[in-house]
Structure 1
């Protein structure tokens, strides 16, 4: 039995008990015998009064079971399960390059950036996603879903278009599997912010982009 069916069934059971109990007490009250009847049937009164509380407890336990099981998992199991969820690293590895770009755009929207649009495709001149922060600065992002680290040549090419072609105030490259050492060195020397695999995992799971690349409003 799934959680939804269980919850619906328990609501019906507790609802029926509560309605019958309320109807019985009301009937006795109308007859003017409510108090004597209640003193003679304490267990029935306790059952009726405790029904709402019992319902909350049972339904709460039903909903909380998965959370309890999750706490008991090892760190490795937790990371594996998180990676398989939509937006996790394993999911990002499995989607198409276009969906990878759309995912990065979605992360930007979640972080509160404005005018976010995915523009990647033929003739994009190195820009896959464009956005603005709340200060009006233009973000230009290139997304690389490569199976290996991004090489320096790709960073060189992006450096030549991010500012001149797109007016980037903040130029960012996202590499699913990181960047080579020469690529990282060139990016640092030319003001290009890199989001490697570790940073991408944190971004996907809620860390604000600017916290990852040390840019502040």
Structure 2
């Protein structure tokens, strides 16, 4: 008896949906004008709901970016929180398919994305209080060569590169786009693009940050 009751409860929504479908078909056949109007209204309501949802997401992203864009706040973030901040800024800038990969087994790349123009990016984020060294640049270049061929490498740090690290980046076969502390602040505030001209070029410029 109990088993039959459970089966009956499971079937109730199916029966109700079928009844609604039959009623909708009958109504459309009997009152095509009203049915068309109702369908159009439903489409408009759905479009308005999607637009509202998008605006809510964008407003939340703007609040998040405004609250975390200052360098003093960035210096207090964890590594994963810094990666999320960079990813959110990229989404706000129109990058597509932005995916955060940071963590164990990320292959040396924290974020992958598709640029507003043609081209794929592989991003490594370094939320450091010390300068980024040459060995770390070489490791990133190795990840790009082995697992992320065809991607343009972007190294984003809250610090700066050492002189040797800068030479490694500039001397690589496919030079990196490097965003150091000064440029990072401008980019996160929406005052400078991540990419030269807002899109990828065939050969990225050596550095976006200041020498030091």
Q: Work out whether the TM-score is over 0.5.
A: yes
* TM-aligned CA deviation for residue 216 of structure 1: 4.1
TM-score (ref. length: structure 1): 0.57
Within-5 A mapping of 1:76-95: 85-95=67-77
Distance 1:99 1:155, change over 3 A: same
- Would you say 1:117 and 2:102 are equivalent positions? no
Within-5 A mapping of 1:29-68: none
Secondary structure of the structure 1 residue equivalent to 2:153:
strand
Contact 1:193 1:213 in 2 (8 A): no
Gaps of 5+ in 2: 1-65, 203-212
Within-5 A mapping of 1:143-154: 143-154=125-136
Identify the match of residue 184 of structure 1 among 162, 166, 181.
166
- Would you say 1:198 and 2:174 are equivalent positions? no
Distance 1:174 1:97, change over 3 A: same
Partner of 2:50: none
Query: Rg: which structure is higher?
Result: 1
Distance 1:149 1:213, change over 3 A: farther
* TM-aligned CA deviation for residue 167 of structure 1: 2.7
Gaps of 5+ in 1: 1-83
Identify the match of residue 99 of structure 1 among 73, 76, 81.
81
Identify the match of residue 209 of structure 1 among 194, 198, 201.
194
Contact 1:116 1:129 in 2 (8 A): yes
Taking the aligned partners of 1:100 and 1:169, their CA distance within structure 2 comes to 21
* TM-aligned CA deviation for residue 116 of structure 1: 0.3
- Would you say 1:167 and 2:152 are equivalent positions? no
Contact 2:117 2:199 in 1 (8 A): no
Secondary structure of the structure 2 residue equivalent to 1:209:
coil
Report the count of equivalent residues: 134
